[in-house]
Structure 1
Amino acid sequence: MSVLMPPQDAPPVVWREFHRRSAAVYAMIAEVDRGHHHEALYWAGRGQRKAEELARR
């Protein structure tokens, strides 16, 4: 487990912010690392979807 990841039992708001930050980082990576552009876009989208799902709860 990453040091940056919240504990499994963290409140949903903590997980939502984690996924939002993760999505933002992957979006930036997609712009600068063209060799991993599509992979980084996938992870950015996944993080954004997870954050949105948690926001709806």
Structure 2
Amino acid sequence: MTVAEQKVTWARVAQVQSLSEAHDLLPRLMPRNGADPAELRKFHEKSAAVYQRVAELDRGHHHEALYWADREARLAREVDGA
């Protein structure tokens, strides 16, 4: 079974080792359009944590992963208009 065929879960995303894996899997967990703001905020908060962890694991993409972690954290804050 290929990665594309596997059901993506937060447990699976917690195992990513690279920025490319995070980029591949996280969009599959993105809440649908019109989702509850709390659900959207939670998605962005969890995504930020994934990218933060990836920044330490995928050292060749450290700064890029930090950018994505910051972006996701900012998007989480903006859900409520903060």
Paired with 1:27 and 1:53, the residues of 2 have a C-alpha distance of 19
The farther-off stretch of 47-56 and 21-30 is 47-56
Paired with 2:71 and 2:37, the residues of 1 have a C-alpha distance of 16
Normalised to the residue count of structure 2, the TM-score between the two structures is 0.63
Which residue number in structure 2 is paired with residue 13 of structure 1? Answer: 38
Runs of 4+ in 1 over 2 A off after TM superposition: none
Q: Which consecutive unaligned segments of at least 5 residues does structure 1 have?
A: none
Number of residue pairs matched? 56
- Name which structure has the greater RCO, CA cutoff 8 Å, separation 6+: 1
1:40 aligns with 2:65: yes
Paired with 2:33 and 2:47, the residues of 1 have a C-alpha distance of 16
The superposition leaves residues 2-57 of structure 1 with CA deviations (integer Å, 9 ceiling, x where unpaired) of: 33111011011111000000000000000111100011000000000111112446
Normalised to the residue count of structure 1, the TM-score between the two structures is 0.88
Paired with 1:7 and 1:52, the residues of 2 have a C-alpha distance of 18
Which residue number in structure 2 is paired with residue 49 of structure 1? Answer: 74
* Percentage identity across paired residues of the two chains: 55
